[in-house]
Amino acid sequence: MNSIGYYPGCSLSGGGIELDLSIRGLAQLAEVELREIDDWNCCGATAAHNLDHNLAIALPYRILALAEKQGLGEVLAPCAACFSRLKGTNVRLERSGDLKAKMQTIVDLPYSGSVKILSITEFLNRLMELGLADKLPKKLTGLKVAPYYGCLLSRGEDIVSDDAESPSAMEAALRATGAEVVDWNFATECCGGGFSMSLTDAVLDLSNAILADAKAAGADCIVTGCPMCHSNLDMRQLKIQSSGMGQYDMPVLYLSEVLGLAAGMGCDQLGLNRHFIPAMALAHRFDPPPQAAETAEAVSDQRSN
Amino acid sequence: MSHTQQSELGARIAEQTGMNVLECYQCGKCTAGCPMAKYMDLTPSQVMRLCQMSDEGAKEQVLRSGAIWTCAGCLTCTQRCPKQLDPAAAMDVLRELSNREKMTSPQRRKILAFHKAFLTTVRKTGRMSEFPLVRRYKISSRDFFSDVLLAPLMVAKGKLGFKAHKIKGRSQIKTIFQTCADLARK
């Protein structure tokens, strides 16, 4: 059985729980064991690099050192922010021996730099190669998706391997599910990131513009890989709608949830029941609840006739 | 004013990031692409310009600006800078200094309060948990009433961890925070 290190990060046991549930489900399906880093800590996120440049490296350094000690050659960091902090730390340590020595003193753990960090898209594309692509029995035909990369899955030199202005890392996997990828303009625009509570109006503005463009492009849902983007586009959509900025009812799904749907995993298993903007109706187009299954089949028969 | 000598801010940015702010030729591309520029009291290119200037007034203007705190760290400026400068990293240096010199714009005190509440939560438990973070933030920012209606919804969806997850290596985390704080005072 293949195995890979796993750094869930803090969001994945709270606001981003669907991401954790759907990733674990897909890994199991692709027969890849996720080996969680023992006693991992927070990567420091936005707060650490805003207030203390040493802390911003030291916190990820401890995580990387623990992973190395545990013998993990590759570690998945599904949250885009954790990914950016962890891989960014690797890049900086590699560039500067002085920084590495300083961190070893601060954290009091050795780290040679051997741990490779994978983003959610790199990981899911790997699963597809490892056989997941053959385990997607449900075709999400007719589902129009707007892949949303936001900031940290598109930008960061030496961190993100995709094209910064026109990323495409989600597209092959989305097309493999039978979904249609819409052409839209806001795939790499910022949602306001960590300002959800501290500068809420800006988050509402920026997220509103993203939702409006997805709607204008005819998308049925936005697909993301970042818990922060998810929270701003999904949870904050309630406020965007109640304050009259726009009316979208636009479900926001993690890429892993979309793949899970195509793999035939249940809505509850994927966490689709936990969204603020209901995603169940959309999911039920492809995964009808037992009592509705016959009706849905009848409808789809009619459509195909 | 000499253009060959680094200002105090320029020197600090060079020391922490390796970037030479004097290379900025004020094309304005960072400002043009910045999603937060419309909420800022200085544009990103103005911040870069002030970092080039050696007078004390320029330093004050930058460190007291709301702009440096309004930067979301989206990296659009850094991605597009034709001089391969890294304005986003400069913003980190400036925020750190603004906080340390207690010059943070009152207009953006909630943003600083949020970052501090976040780091306090991590220092005490090793991880971020939503409930302890939000509780701390609300007390320190005195922003008690926003989003109170969201809390029950979040609980219903299993998205608001009430109890902080405490890692075993909490003493290591405390030492890391303490060592970094000591380094910052030097």
Q: What is the CATH number of the domain that holds A185?
A: 3.40.50.11810
Report the SS3 class of residue B49.
helix
Q: How confident is the model at residue A305 (pLDDT cuts 50, 70, 90)?
A: very low
User: Could you tell me if residue A130 is inside a domain?
Assistant: no
What is the per-residue pLDDT across B39-56, written as a single tens digit (0 to 9) for each?
Answer: 999 999 999 999 999 999
> Could A14 and B130 be called an inter-chain contact, meaning their C-beta atoms sit closer than 8 Å?
yes
The mean pLDDT value for A110-121 works out to 98
- Per the structure, the count of domains in chain A is 2
A6 φ, ψ (degrees, to nearest 5): -135, 125
Predicted local distance difference test score (pLDDT) of residue A301: 55
Are A52 and B128 a contacting pair at CB < 8 A? no
Judge contact between A93 and A58, C-beta under 8 A.
no
- The yes-or-no verdict on residue A303 having pLDDT over 70 is no
Pull the structure tokens for residue A151.
């900031």
Write the ipTM.
0.95
CB A207 within 8 A of CB A236: yes
> How do residues A189-204 score in pLDDT, each as one tens digit?
999 999 999 999 999 9
Q: Which chain B residues touch A198 with a CB distance below 8 Å?
A: 110-111, 113-114, 137, 141
pLDDT above 80 for A294: no
Counting residues of chain A whose pLDDT is more than 70, the rounded percentage is 95
Domain membership of residue A14 (yes or no) is yes
Residue B148 has pLDDT above 50, yes or no: yes
Is A294 part of a structural domain of the chain?
Answer: yes
C-alpha A154/C-alpha A160 separation (Å) is: 6
- The pair of structure tokens assigned to A39 is 């006693």
User: What CATH number did the domain enclosing A8 receive?
Assistant: 1.20.1050.140
Percentage of chain B modeled with pLDDT above 90: 80
Q: Do residues A131 and A216 lie in contact, with contact meaning Cβ atoms separated by under 8 Å?
A: no
Q: Which residues of A touch B141 (CB under 8 A)?
A: 198
Kindly report whether the global pTM for this prediction surpasses the value 0.90: yes
Same domain as A181, residue A80:
no
Lowest average pLDDT, out of A207-211, A270-274, A291-295, B134-138, goes to A291-295
Q: Are residues A160 and A285 in the same domain?
A: yes
**B67/B47 Cα distance (integer angstroms):** 8
| DSSP tally for chain B: helices H, then strands E | 11, 0
A304 has a pLDDT exceeding 60:
no
Q: Measure the CA–CA gap between A302 and A146, rounded to whole angstroms.
A: 27
In a shared domain, residues A28 and A65: yes
Q: Which residue range is the domain that position A114 belongs to? A: 2-120
**Alpha carbons A204 and A21: distance in angstroms, whole number:** 27
Closest CB to A39: pick one of B73, B167, B175.
B167
Nearest by CB: B180 against A46, A47, A58: A58
Q: How far is CA A220 from CA A180, A228, A241, A251, B47, in A?
A: 10, 20, 17, 7, 40
**What's the pLDDT score for residue A298?**
54
Mean pLDDT to the nearest integer, B149-158: 85
Interface of B with A in 67-96 (CB under 8 A): 70, 72-76, 78-79, 92-93, 95-96
pLDDT at A296 over 60: no
Residue A163's CB is within 10 A of a number of other CB atoms, namely 11
- Residue A239, pLDDT above cutoff 50: yes
A158 and A271 share a domain? yes
Q: What mean pLDDT is predicted for residues A2-23?
A: 95
Radius of gyration of chain B (CA): 19
Interface A–B counts its CB contacts (< 8 A) at 162
Average pLDDT over residues A88-104: 97
- The CATH class given to the B8-104 domain equals mainly alpha
Say whether both A74 and A161 belong to one domain. Answer: no
CB contact under 8 A, B75 and A235: no
Mean pLDDT, chain B, integer: 94
The single-letter code of the amino acid at B172 is Q
**Separation of alpha carbons B15 and B55, rounded Å:** 19
pLDDT at B2: 46
Average pLDDT over residues B95-111: 97
The alpha carbon of residue B1 is apart from the nearest alpha carbon of chain A, in Å, by 30
Alpha helices in chain A (DSSP H): 17-29, 45-51, 55-69, 80-95, 97-107, 120-129, 171-176, 200-216, 227-230, 236-242, 255-262, 267-270, 280-284, 293-304
Residue ranges per structural domain of chain B = 8-104, 107-185
Q: Parallel, antiparallel, or unpaired for β A144-147 and A180-181?
A: parallel
Rounded-to-integer distance, Cα A56 and Cα A261, Å: 37
pLDDT at A268: 92
Q: Which helix (H) or strand (E) holds A3?
A: strand A2-6
Is the confidence at residue B12, as pLDDT, over 90?
yes
Q: For position B150, what pLDDT does the model report?
A: 86
Taking CB atoms and an 8 Å limit, are A50 and B116 in contact across chains?
no
Q: With an 8 Å Cβ cutoff, are A55 and B119 in contact?
A: yes
Cβ atoms of residues A105 and B178 within 8 Å: no
**Last residue of a domain, which of A62, A95, A120?**
A120
Q: Where are the alpha helices (DSSP H) in B81-163?
A: 87-100, 109-125, 130-141, 150-156
Residue B1 pLDDT grade (very low, low, confident, very high; cuts 50, 70, 90): very low
Residue numbers in B near A17 (CB within 8 A): 158-159
Q: Is residue A131 included in any domain, yes or no?
A: no
Judged on CB neighbours under 10 Å (0-12, 13-18, 19+), B182 is: exposed
